[in-house]
Amino acid sequence: MSKNNIHFDISERKILLRILDIVCVLLLLYLVGIVFNFDYFKINSEHWVWSIVLAAYLTVFATIFELYNLQKASKFDVVVKNVIITSSVTVLFYLLTPFYTPMLPTNRLQIVYFFVAINVAMLAWRYAYIVLVSAPRFYKRVLLVANACDVEAIMTSLQKSDPNYRVIGYVNTGVNDASIVNSLEIDAININDIATLTQEMTISEIVVGTPISEGMTVELNNQLIKLLEIGIPIREYTQVYEELTYRIPVQHVEKDFYRYFPFSRSNQNKLYLFFNRVLDLIFSIVGLIVGIVLFPILIIGNALANRGPFFYSQTRVGKNGKHFKIYKLRSMIINAEKDGAQFAKTKDVRVTKFGRFLRKSRFDEIPQFINVIKGEMSVIGPRPERPEFVEDLKIEIPFYEVRHLVKPGVTGWAQVNAKYGASQEDSLEKLQYDLYYIKHRSLFLDITIIIKTLSTIIFFRGQ
């Protein structure tokens, strides 16, 4: 394999970003301390806690403000905005926790040095990341083994999920004419030429996107084994798809669903479920307190802009298919469904101007904490859907009812990753995220969802 064929996987790039964010910031602060006689922040054995706290704040707020979103991390204009926001909030919290951090300096100019140094360090490193790590020489160059009819869809899904993922060739396992993908400008490779061309094209990985029963001949398997022996990784498409997109490609695993979908042990782990319930109650109480504080303002807004009932309830499907009444703040016009139940759409004309604000800010979800306290919902879980839609979706979408194995949530993996469910296609995408959550359910994933939810609220992305 060519020495130039270097690639950082998604997990490696995220770890690299996190570690070097901290290292670059601490290194520059250390140099600033030497050059400018900067004594507010010192890096030594006596004050090691200061560095730990700063690193923790930086990591948490960089996650909230999407500095570890790889699609956005490769766009410098987006990075500049997010770095400034991250450093501003980090410095603010650092200054406001003097018990674990230095006391405010008498020379307030040192705070400016502190703030500027963090920004310069992170921007310099992030620029280097974009120029070097996100450069074409670090792309993962992939050979796809699949039916020519499926190549475009598979290629699009992989490259959309990871900007450094590049499908540069394919082996057609179907009987159809391979010219169907000529417009994609990737090379069609004959089975007999795989070994030679794979090395010439410096392939990083081979992805098999076709079932064993469909086109995987003995000859092709033998060729792939030879490549495996010389060190080229070979992986199944659904495995790669799940790793890149953080969702289950349920439409591709219908025949072998339980092979690809082992349920998370957390779904039956009593200790996890106990702590999950405790956190549900804590978050719900805090959420309702925030709601009570905001309600006077929201009531005035509703009276002026919505002019009608403040609350509304609606039947939804919960755990094990049990129906319950969900509580929300009304965001649509009165009698919005006089013509029958229908999916809410992006820029739905039935949503009032004030209702759009409620949805963007997620304030309309606050009453759902009552459902959480009642045990009908959890803070985190699949979004509860209406019975009218569930009846249709479970017929059209394979394994749709699996999402009812856990309690529905106020927020969830699908809510923070997928677009608004305005169609059956959107429901399929949301189901893929929901199944990923059920499969990988854990305290760490729950914390990730909470952080991403904060990002959604802060960037006003609610729908």
- How confident is the model over 177-236, as pLDDT tens digits? 555 555 566 777 877 777 777 777 778 888 888 765 567 788 888 888 888 888 888 888
Residue 55: which pLDDT band, with cuts at 50, 70 and 90?
Answer: very high
Residue 366: which pLDDT band, with cuts at 50, 70 and 90?
Answer: very high
Residues 59-78, mean pLDDT to the nearest whole number: 86
Task: Give me the pLDDT at residue 175, please.
Answer: 72
Instruction: Give yes or no for residue 168 having a pLDDT over 70.
Output: yes
Residue 84: which pLDDT band, with cuts at 50, 70 and 90?
Answer: very high
Choose between 168 and 198: higher pLDDT: 168
Distance CA 264, CA 216 (A): 31
Residue 374: which pLDDT band, with cuts at 50, 70 and 90?
Answer: very high
Beta pairing partners, 165: 140
**Model confidence, pTM:** 0.77
Choose between 315 and 194: higher pLDDT: 315
Q: Is 431 helix (H, G, I), strand (E, B) or coil?
A: helix
Backbone φ and ψ for 331, nearest 5 degrees, come out as -120, -5
Distance CA 61, CA 290 (A): 21
Choose between 303 and 136: higher pLDDT: 303
- How confident is the model over 328-365, as pLDDT tens digits? 998 888 776 666 666 666 666 788 888 888 888 889 99
Question: How do the domains of the chain map onto residue ranges?
Answer: 10-133, 139-245, 265-458
Distance CA 197, CA 203 (A): 9
Q: Is 419 helix (H, G, I), strand (E, B) or coil?
A: coil
CB atoms near residue 326 (< 10 Å): 22
Residues 385-400, mean pLDDT to the nearest whole number: 86
Contact 427, 382 (CB under 8 A): no
Sheet containing 205-208: order of strands: 187-188, 165-172, 140-146, 205-208, 234-236
Distance CA 172, CA 188 (A): 7
Contact 456, 462 (CB under 8 A): yes
Instruction: For 295-311, give the DSSP string.
Output: HHHHHHHIIIII-S-SE
Question: 57: which 2 tokens?
Answer: 């704040």
Task: Give me the pLDDT at residue 217, please.
Answer: 80
Instruction: Give yes or no for residue 394 having a pLDDT over 70.
Output: yes
Query: Has domain 139-245 been given CATH number 3.40.50.970?
Result: no
Mean pLDDT, all residues of the chain: 83
Task: Give me the pLDDT at residue 3, please.
Answer: 43
Residue 428: which pLDDT band, with cuts at 50, 70 and 90?
Answer: confident
Instruction: Give the lowest-confidence range in 132-136, 350-354, 370-374, 400-404.
Output: 132-136
Task: Give me the pLDDT at residue 184, please.
Answer: 62
Instruction: Give the lowest-confidence range in 1-10, 83-92, 238-247, 308-317.
Output: 1-10
For the ranges 224-238, 276-290, 294-308, the maximum mean pLDDT occurs at 276-290
Contact 27, 10 (CB under 8 A): no
Instruction: Give yes or no for residue 254 having a pLDDT over 90.
Output: no
Task: Give me the pLDDT at residue 1, please.
Answer: 40
Task: Give me the pLDDT at residue 212, please.
Answer: 58
Instruction: Say which residues have a Cβ less than 8 Å from residue 424's Cβ, sequence separation at least 6.
Output: 392, 393, 396, 397
Task: Give me the pLDDT at residue 417, please.
Answer: 86
Task: Give me the pLDDT at residue 325, please.
Answer: 95
Backbone φ and ψ for 324, nearest 5 degrees, come out as -150, 165
